[in-house]
Amino acid sequence: MADFYDLLGVSRSASGDEIKKAYRKRARELHPDANPDNPEAEAQFKDLARAYQVLSDDQQRSRYDQFGEAGVGGRSGGAGSADDLFGGGLGDIFETFFGGGGGSPFGGGRQRGPAGPTRGQDVEVIADIDFVQAVFGDQIDVQLKLPVRCGTCDGSGAAQDTQPVTCSECGGSGQVQRVRQSLLGQMVTASPCTRCGGLGEVIASPCDTCRGEGRVTEDTTYKVDVPAGVDTGSTLRLTRRGAAGPRKGANGDLYVHLRVQPDERFDRDGDDLVTDVPISIAQAALGTSLTLETLDGDEDLVIPHGTQPGREFILRQRGVPHLQGRGRGDLIARVRVEVPTKLDDSEVALLTKFADARGERVGNGKDGIFSRIKSAFT
């Protein structure tokens, strides 16, 4: 673990007020609520809290200055380690750290209370949408089965006309304190009460519907707004739409992973759309005008004479809307010249005459079909 003074960004001669001020600033930056799903920030936050715990206490600070971490119980296994400090989880970090009337750098101290109901689990679901919905956005229904708050007991878990009772094991605090001896004397640690699960209350008469859980599993439908421009792999987060927590615990989050169905007309290349435009050899050579289908309606497309296979015509702002900005991609119309595979005699004769005029050799040799047809006209 890094030096405690370095963690707080203060000198070894810093006053108590300077240490408290530095801690408040860094704690706001590293707090888990400000860095969701960031284990590194959570670990740094724990180290920061441990450093403040030591340096804000004159006796512990003196021992730390003389002996380092060994003088204040070390990093793990000893009293005051991060795991002891947070009871195995962050929860309400400031209440846990400064509970019992201690002075919190963020305001007046509070008595440590129950850990509170457990937050429900996050839920993930895959939603299939069609190509046009992904391009232009839409509102879709997402159906899933998940725990929701029990309507009979309103999530309390207690039967009608009854209430949860105070846990006799922890006296309603939700935590059990234990005293143990160490080289530095008696150390007090706290852990969630196993009888009430840290809630501070137990259910004497469980609700018949949810059996004291405070939640039941039901089929649920959510309407989800899909923004324009999403693609397969895009994920939408619906805050507090996940599983309900037990006994009035907060809901988790719902993560909707989108899967876009392919379209026969268009391929997607980022925010651009690509479509093939099949034309004949005559149309490529002589030019033509045709109707091109787009997601915004039909467009006139002029093919100039002498167009080569693979030539691309770009229709600006006819592609996919930019998900993180304004405007749209382009529609790329790529020419594909189709060579006929079946010809009747008159068509063969015309092509043979055309080849002769250009001095081109055609057919499969003197015994080929073109040669036989040519000889019939001479």
Contact between 124 and 257 under an 8 Å Cβ cutoff? The reply is: yes
Kindly state whether residues 254 and 355 are assigned to the same domain.
Answer: no
Give strand pairing partners of 95: none
Residues 235 and 131 in one domain: yes
Average pLDDT over residues 5-17: 88
Report d(CA 51, CA 61) in Å as an integer. 10
Identity of the residue numbered 173: S
Q: Are 236 and 259 in contact (CB under 8 A)?
A: no
Please state the pTM of the whole predicted model: 0.62
Q: Is 35 helix (H, G, I), strand (E, B) or coil?
A: coil
- In 3-state terms, what secondary structure has residue 353? helix
As a whole number of angstroms, the distance between CA 111 and CA 35 comes to 27
Structural domain count of the chain: 5
Residue entry with tokens 């000893």: 78
Residue 107 counted as domain residue = no
Q: Are residues 352 and 238 in the same domain?
A: no
CA 159: distance to chain centroid? Answer: 38
pLDDT tens figures, 34-44:
777 787 877 88
Which range is least confidently modeled, 88-102, 270-284, 302-316? 88-102
pLDDT beyond 80 at 140:
yes
Q: Indicate left, alpha or beta for 198 from its phi (over 0: left) and psi (-120 to 50: alpha).
A: left
Model confidence at 73, in pLDDT bands (50, 70, 90)?
Answer: low
Residue 103 located in a structural domain:
no
Q: What is the DSSP letter of 145?
A: E
13 plus 76 within the same structural domain: yes
Q: Is the same domain home to 207 and 130?
A: yes
| Whether 133 and 192 share a structural domain | no
> Which domain range does residue 361 map to?
345-376
Q: Kindly state whether residues 228 and 303 are assigned to the same domain.
A: no
Instruction: Specify if 256 maps to a domain.
Output: yes
Domain harbouring 55, CATH code: 1.10.287.110
What is the DSSP secondary structure assignment for residue 6, as one 8-state letter?
Answer: H
Listed range (72-86, 87-101, 160-174, 213-227) with the worst mean pLDDT: 87-101
Last residue of one domain, picked from the residues 243, 261, 279: 261
Q: Does 192 reside within a domain?
A: yes
Q: Are 42 and 57 in contact (CB under 8 A)?
A: no
